[in-house]
Amino acid sequence: PTVSLSASATVGSSGLRPCTNDATQTCGGFFDPTTRTGLGAQASWRIYDFGQTSLAIHAAELSAEATRFALQSDVLDVRTGVEIAYLEAVARQRLITVAETTVKSEEVHLDQARKFVAAQAKDPIEVVQAQARAANAKSSLAQAQSAQAIAMANLRAAIGWLDATRAPVVTNTWPTPPEQEPVQLVALVEQARKDRIEIRGFDKEIAAAQANLDAADAQRRPVLSANASTQWGPGEGDWSPEPTWSAGITLSWDLLDGGRARAEQRIAKANLLSAQAQRDSLLVLLTSQIELARAQIIANRANVVASTEAVTAARAQLRLAEARYTQGLGSQIELADAQTAVTTAEGNLVTAEWQLADAWATLRRALGTR
């Protein structure tokens, strides 16, 4: 029900009438203003509207459920964003370790070259070559540190960390990936269609849009309501009138509303078609997302294995080159090639492990799992 109160005070002219004090005289007229006051109360109760209110409530409840699913989807997006930012920070930290190892190794090679040149066992150009490689290694280390600082800033932004006095800390190890490859694409797609929050959210949006369309259609139905009101309007200086009241039942039916109901029907139908199209688009995109993530996992698993073997071989090559150089048999060029092979192989391994972890995170998001 709705209840309203009203109060009024007006000043205006009145018609000619016998004066209150002297009936033989005439009072009122255009130049004799009078004051009127009034108090009123009205109450109205919609008894039955042939389903208009119930349909609107049902549509609102479905819209609220769709919004709840959208919120859960946003939470998953934030979680995935934080996870990917964290993985990048770990990768950048590991690349710093690779660069630091390279700097230490090049400094050892530079020291060896200086000793050989001092003993006149090597040409002085080898010292210059070793110095250039050591400087390049330090430059690469500075670049790796800069990239890691950017990754940490991105991680802070992904977390939404506002406290400048604290900073997130990452470890130097990767999360342990699953040992087995992902199952077949068909099974993954079926799982995603069951678990993806967005699909359930679009289902609720479609149901809400259909309910809004039904509610818009129901606006042309009649409304049965009960009304009651009371009024008290004393005149100027006359407080004797008694309040009046009235009560009744009204059946109203909007025969013409200027096209408002038809426009709301078109809007509701457009929203329904939009929700259906978004759901269909997600189903199409879902398969490609899962297929891409699955293919990246398979490829990166093989890349990690190959990169691990390359690191082992490159380190063995570097040990042999260092042994040859220590014995005076090798050259700085051979040593540089071996060191470059180690640095490249270790960097490739970090990148492969990073891409593998990213692919698993992307697959989990595509499947709708936490």
CA distances from 72 to 75, 160, 234, 366 (A): 5, 17, 61, 14
Beta-bridged to residue 235, according to DSSP, are: 238
- pTM exceeds 0.85: no
Extents of the domains making up the chain: 50-219+260-319+326-367
SS (H, E, C) 253-269: CCCCCCCHHHHHHHHHH
Q: Are 255 and 185 in contact (CB under 8 A)?
A: no
The answer, yes or no, to whether residue 238 has pLDDT greater than 70, is: no
Written as six digits, the tokens of 30 are 């255009």
pLDDT in tens, 243-271: 888 899 988 887 776 777 788 888 888 98
In the prediction, which pLDDT does 226 show?
92
Listed residue (69, 21, 368) closest to 190, CA to CA: 368
The answer, yes or no, to whether residue 224 has pLDDT greater than 80, is: yes
Q: Can you tell me the mean pLDDT for 201-218? A: 88
The superfamily in CATH containing domain 50-219+260-319+326-367 is: Outer membrane efflux proteins (OEP) (1.20.1600.10)
